[in-house]
Structure 1
Amino acid sequence: MARIAVIGAGMGALTAAARLAVAGHRVAVYERTETYGGAVRRRERDGFSFDTGPGLLPLPAVYRDLFLKTGKEPLEDHVELVQVDPSARHVFADGSEAVLPNASRAGVVAALDGALGAGAGDRWGDVLVRAREAWDRSRRPLLEETLWPNWRVLAEREPYPAVPHKRLLRTRRAGTLAEVAAWELGDPRLAALLESHALAYGLDPRTAPAGAALLAYLEHAFGTWYVRGGLRELARAVYERCVARRVEFSFGAEVARVREKDGRAAGVELADGSVAEADFVVAGIAPEALDRIVTGTAVRGGGVDEVPPQRGLPSRLTVLLALRGGRPEGTAHRTVVHAPDREAELAALFDTPSGMAAQPTVTVLRPDDPALVPDAEHEAVTLTATVPAGTERGAEYAGAMVAAAERAVPGLRDRILWQKIRTPADIAAETGAVGGAVPAPALAAAGGRLLHPSNTTALPGLFTVGGWSHPGGGLPHAGMSGALVAGLIVEGPEFRGSR
């Protein structure tokens, strides 16, 4: 039985802790804040309740596997999963709308043909077929296996089988998501639909690889899910699974230094001076925070073949709205209100540090969940937009987001009882990421820019978990990172991936 110190109580750290405890190890978690879950938090006031991190769950199979492997119990015994149908309502720049059913190819094709014109559905479906091939090619190395030692193969190999595009005398294949949207979809509304999946993760469609189309495929193939009571309930269930497996938790316990002995990690030293010796250390924290607590060793980027940490990624701005008046029957759980000028939005967000466009793309979440409101005469609504990390213009951007959301929720302003703005600074306080940056999922190609460092480090005995290491950001990816780290510790360096 090994002693294992886990730094941080984010979702990746929790999943690693639960798996390691079930394997017979003594696991202790040290979290500098007063609660678990990382960015998966909850805000409550006056009978209203809001998720302040992710609001929907893709790929629930990752957490189903966690509960089966750590207790032979279905996830549904601990949380109520609800398939969101329709998957989303999209409000486009020209005022047209499309309501897309959940995980139904035929239904999506029919919905897009009816909303955007004959042929739109088939063009979208054809892109998703190619995105499925990209998923099949990259699923194991990007999600289920430890990062390949020869990761540069992933950096150079584009998994998306783009259609040849003839222009003048040249034939090209799409290399970016924006090119896939322009050349293979041929409709600015379908382009906005495809690109919005990348933008939601803070990725610029103009530079994101063509394989980013698999982000849209994942939603189509595996559906979109909601956890009754909010995604915080998932964090609670995973935390309680850890407690049931005798994982020890210390909250308000900031790790000041990773201890080293004989050239390997040997425990942690806390800010209060106390020491916890360990045989292995698992760090579920942002790269800048990890750099501060490991002395004398280049944990990341120290070798020629090391994938450097992703830095400088955008963040998210969230506006929590407590509304008078109940949720109308038939309201979509999620509505994406697309920016009137997508190019201006991308330029404002990614080309200059000034920030958001005057009219941004906004995701509106309106859950049908009585647990989130004081009574049926009120509604809890969450607005989210991608913004530059570190921005301090929260109030200004919030006004633009509410204005955009009114395109989907008429009379929204008149219904607001109160609002709470969640800025990148709030994310930074909860996660330790500089500027509140939010990591994106790992993607192949693009020269490796969107890969994440391996879960092993230059310091033997020190492993990393969570969104800032392989396989990157997002709830499913965090869960898989926990499985990979547990495998590396339990089975040793020969471990390659989940089975």
Structure 2
Amino acid sequence: MARIAVIGAGMGAMAAAARLAVAGHRVAVYERAATHGGSVGRLERDGFAFDTGPGLLHLPAVYRDLFVKTGKESLEQSLTLTQVDPASRHLFADGTDVRLPNASRAGVVAALDAAAGPGAGERWSDLVNRAREVWDATRRPLLEEPLRADRTAALGHDPYPAPPRRGLFRRRRGPLTLASVAERELADPRLVALLEGHALAHGLDPRVAPASATVLPYMEQTFGSWYVRGGVRALADALYERCLARRVEFFFGAEVVGLVEEDGRAAGVRLAGDGVAEADMVVAGVAPGRLEAFAPGVAGPSRGPVPPGRFSVFLAVAGSRPEDAAHRTVVHGDDRTAELEAVFGAAGVGGYRPTVTVLRPDDADTRPDDAHEAVTLTATIAPHGRTDWNDARTVADFADRMVAAAEAAVPGLRERVLWREVRTPADTEAATGAEGGGVPAPVLAGGEGAFLRPANVTRLPGLYLVGGFAHPGGGLAHAGMSGAMVAGLIVEGADWRGSQ
């Protein structure tokens, strides 16, 4: 039985801790904050409750496997999980309104044909079919196997099977990007916005993201969108309880400031206040900047700039939720270039109208009574530092623009708001330690490896990386996958090739 110190109590770290404890190891988690969950937080006020992190779960099979492997109670026995239908409603700049059913390829085709004209659904379906080839080619090496040096070069190639150009000028100019795929294969600006909106929601610039990013809508459309009753925070709570049941120890308010090294390998952690926790191995679930501060160079070279962050507005709303209200509505922006430059370029916050995701859960646990509803608005924005998200006027102005945009989904919203609270990338940075409040995207093949994250095995023997800033990247499901990979590497050894 090995002693294992886990740095951080985020979802990936807790997923690794639960699996390692079941394997017989003695696991202790050191978290600098006062609670577990990392970015999967919760805001409660006046009987209203909001997720401050992800609002939906995709690929629930990751957590089903985790709960099966770590205890008697299944995921569904530990919480209430339901499919969201429609999966999403989309409101485009020209006024087009379409509801896409959950996990129904034929239903999506029919809905797009009805909203965008005959043939629109088939064009979208053809693209998703090609994205399936991306999924088949990358599912195992990207999501089920540790990232190894001998595979990195291969994963730098984009597996998207683009159809050949027709006509005299068939030569492709430059790398194939998600934006070029959208322009060539979808043409209709609404379908383009639908595809690029998936990238934007994950903090990816469609102008530079590889065509393999088409796998993101494929996964959502194929495996569905799921809601956890009480909010996704309930998933973090259930995972925490599972860790406790497996006798994982948690130390909150315990900030790790250094590593203990003996004989060239990790042998524990140093805590603020000069405390030391000895261990045989260390698992770090922290952002790159924090890791670099106490373990310089162990993760290898950086893989790009700080990713975009999330701006969230939590609204306590008077009036009952209509029965036909969609759980999730995406109100697409009206100036693609201005928004992408503001989020990814040098334009700063600008004066554009952002793409806003409106979440209106039909969940009595999130509101004081049926005469009110809890509404969450989110937008992908530039990280803190490139925009000063501590500036009160900037924050208030952007929140106002988001509420104004959301009125397309919730008529009369401004008049119904009782109060609002806001979370910016500056708040995320303070709460999680992630530089600029950046939210990591899932890993992607292509782009010569620029869209990969550091491997779970580091240059320092005995130190492993877990969570969204490590392989296989950000998102609830990917965090769970990273926990499984780290546990496999520790339990089975360096020769472990991945889940079966």
For normalisation by structure 2, the TM-score amounts to 0.96
The residue type paired with residue 288 of structure 1 is G
In 1, the alpha carbon distance for the partners of 2:303 and 2:191 equals 32
Instruction: Report how far residue 165 of structure 1 moved.
Output: 2.3
Q: Deviations over 1:393-430 (max 9, x none)?
A: 32221111111111111101000000001011111122
Instruction: Report how far residue 57 of structure 1 moved.
Output: 0.2
1:48-197 counterparts in 2 under 5 A? 48-166=48-166, 169-172=169-172, 175-197=176-198
Q: For residue 307 of structure 2, what is the aligned residue in structure 1?
A: 313
Do the aligned residues in 2 keep the contact of 1:5 with 1:29 (CA within 8 Å)?
yes
In 1, the alpha carbon distance for the partners of 2:329 and 2:167 equals 36
* Pair 1:338-2:322 in alignment: no
Identity of aligned residues (%): 64
The residue type paired with residue 345 of structure 2 is D
In 2, the alpha carbon distance for the partners of 1:168 and 1:339 equals 35
In 2, the alpha carbon distance for the partners of 1:223 and 1:440 equals 19
Instruction: Report how far residue 155 of structure 1 moved.
Output: 4.2
In 1, the alpha carbon distance for the partners of 2:260 and 2:370 equals 54
Bigger shift: 335-344 or 242-251?
A: 335-344
In 2, the alpha carbon distance for the partners of 1:25 and 1:385 equals 41
Do the aligned residues in 1 keep the contact of 2:44 with 2:50 (CA within 8 Å)?
yes
Instruction: Report how far residue 115 of structure 1 moved.
Output: 0.8
Do the aligned residues in 1 keep the contact of 2:164 with 2:170 (CA within 8 Å)?
no
Instruction: Report how far residue 167 of structure 1 moved.
Output: 6.4
Q: Deviations over 1:324-383 (max 9, x none)?
A: 001011100000000011122112222215125520100000000000000000010000
Instruction: Report how far residue 293 of structure 1 moved.
Output: 1.3
Q: For residue 304 of structure 1, what is the aligned residue in structure 2?
A: none
Gaps of 5+ in 1: 302-306
1:48-447 counterparts in 2 under 5 A? 48-166=48-166, 169-172=169-172, 175-294=176-295, 297-301=296-300, 308-355=302-349, 357-390=351-384, 391=387, 392=389, 393-447=394-448
The residue type paired with residue 161 of structure 1 is P
Instruction: Report how far residue 308 of structure 1 moved.
Output: 2.9
In 2, the alpha carbon distance for the partners of 1:53 and 1:145 equals 27
1:12-23 counterparts in 2 under 5 A? 12-23=12-23
Q: Deviations over 1:267-286 (max 9, x none)?
A: 01110211110000000000
In 2, the alpha carbon distance for the partners of 1:161 and 1:73 equals 42
User: What is the DSSP-based 3-state SS (H/G/I as helix, E as strand, rest coil) of the residue aligned with 1:151?
Assistant: helix
Do the aligned residues in 1 keep the contact of 2:268 with 2:278 (CA within 8 Å)?
yes
Do the aligned residues in 2 keep the contact of 1:166 with 1:172 (CA within 8 Å)?
no
Would you identify which runs of 4 or more consecutive aligned residues in structure 1 move more than 4 Å? Answer: none
For normalisation by structure 1, the TM-score amounts to 0.97
The residue type paired with residue 389 of structure 1 is P
Do the aligned residues in 2 keep the contact of 1:310 with 1:468 (CA within 8 Å)?
no
When residues 149 and 193 of structure 1 are mapped into structure 2, their CA distance, relative to the original with a 3 A threshold, is: same
In 2, the alpha carbon distance for the partners of 1:72 and 1:472 equals 29
In 2, the alpha carbon distance for the partners of 1:289 and 1:111 equals 46
The residue type paired with residue 175 of structure 1 is L
When residues 436 and 353 of structure 1 are mapped into structure 2, their CA distance, relative to the original with a 3 A threshold, is: farther
In 1, the alpha carbon distance for the partners of 2:366 and 2:11 equals 22
In 1, the alpha carbon distance for the partners of 2:137 and 2:396 equals 43
User: What is the DSSP-based 3-state SS (H/G/I as helix, E as strand, rest coil) of the residue aligned with 2:470?
Assistant: coil
The residue type paired with residue 444 of structure 1 is A
Do the aligned residues in 1 keep the contact of 2:453 with 2:470 (CA within 8 Å)?
yes
In 2, the alpha carbon distance for the partners of 1:146 and 1:473 equals 15
Gaps of 5+ in 2: none
In 2, the alpha carbon distance for the partners of 1:311 and 1:29 equals 29
Instruction: Report how far residue 298 of structure 1 moved.
Output: 1.8
The residue type paired with residue 100 of structure 2 is L
In 1, the alpha carbon distance for the partners of 2:267 and 2:255 equals 17
The residue type paired with residue 369 of structure 2 is D
Do the aligned residues in 1 keep the contact of 2:10 with 2:285 (CA within 8 Å)?
yes
Bigger shift: 389-398 or 218-227?
A: 389-398
In 1, the alpha carbon distance for the partners of 2:373 and 2:494 equals 51
In 2, the alpha carbon distance for the partners of 1:233 and 1:416 equals 26
In 2, the alpha carbon distance for the partners of 1:318 and 1:262 equals 46
**How much is the aligned-residue C-alpha RMSD, in angstroms?**
1.2
User: What is the DSSP-based 3-state SS (H/G/I as helix, E as strand, rest coil) of the residue aligned with 1:468?
Assistant: coil
In 2, the alpha carbon distance for the partners of 1:278 and 1:167 equals 64
Instruction: Report how far residue 74 of structure 1 moved.
Output: 1.5
Do the aligned residues in 1 keep the contact of 2:299 with 2:455 (CA within 8 Å)?
no
In 1, the alpha carbon distance for the partners of 2:137 and 2:76 equals 30
Do the aligned residues in 2 keep the contact of 1:141 with 1:148 (CA within 8 Å)?
no
In 1, the alpha carbon distance for the partners of 2:402 and 2:154 equals 37
User: What is the DSSP-based 3-state SS (H/G/I as helix, E as strand, rest coil) of the residue aligned with 1:171?
Assistant: coil
Residues paired across the two proteins, number: 492
